[in-house]
């Protein structure tokens, strides 16, 4: 897994866009007390469920892999 140049900023963008996506779909309401890791996992699973992104193989799923996938997704957004 090759690290992206500005992965931290892309992960922040992915969390913001993913939260907006989930709320617009009406499937989630994020609380201010939710940790970034919880948000990342929920957004990742939602995008995989909606077939927006390709899932990571089950044995390779980790917080780092989910962050990376979301960063790639965010880099492709406008």
User: What residues contact 74, with CB distance under 8 A and at least 6 apart?
Assistant: 10, 11, 13, 14, 17
Domains, the chain, with CATH or none: 7-24+33-75 (1.20.120.1930)
Q: pLDDT over 70 for what percent of the chain?
A: 100
The whole-angstrom separation of Cα 13 and Cα 8 is 9
Query: Tokens in use for 19?
Result: 């939260």
Cα angle vertex 47, ends 49, 31, to 5°? 110
User: What pLDDT score does 1 carry?
Assistant: 73
pLDDT digit string, tens, across residues 27-64: 999 999 999 999 999 999 999 999 999 999 999 999 99
The whole-angstrom separation of Cα 45 and Cα 4 is 21
Cα angle vertex 74, ends 47, 16, to 5°? 80
């Amino acid at each position: 897994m090759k690290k992206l140049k500005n992965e931290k900023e892309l992960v922040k963008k992915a969390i913001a866009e993913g939260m907006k996506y989930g709320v617009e779909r009406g499937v989630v309401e994020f609380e201010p007390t939710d940790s970034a890791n919880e948000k990342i996992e929920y957004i990742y699973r939602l995008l995989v469920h909606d077939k927006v992104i390709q899932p990571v193989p089950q044995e390779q799923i980790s917080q780092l892999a989910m962050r990376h996938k979301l960063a790639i997704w965010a880099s492709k957004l406008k």
